[in-house]
Amino acid sequence: MELKELRQKSEQQLTEHLGELRREQFNLRMQKGSGQMTQTHQFSRVRREIAQVKHLLGAKKQGQ
């Protein structure tokens, strides 16, 4: 998801999206552990998006 789309979401929606990303990250780790991982670029995409969501949540809590 693009940063523009993330900025338009509310805190509640961002929190839900963060939960989905954490589940996806867990599933990717399980795939890697079982040897089924074929798209290794997904790790960095999920990590980057988690960081973006956490940054936006912090900014919204500070009132920016």
Q: In three state form, how does the secondary structure of the chain look? A: CCHHHHHCCCHHHHHHHHHHHHHHHHHHHHHHHHCCCCCCHHHHHHHHHHHHHHHHHHHHHHCC
CATH number at residue 21: 1.10.287
Q: What is the pLDDT of residue 44?
A: 96
13-62: per-residue pLDDT in tens?
Answer: 999 999 999 999 999 999 999 999 889 999 999 999 999 999 999 999 89
> What is the pLDDT at residue 63?
83
pLDDT class for 64, splitting at 50, 70, 90?
Answer: low
Q: How many domains does the chain fold into?
A: 1
Q: Which domain holds residue 42?
A: 3-62
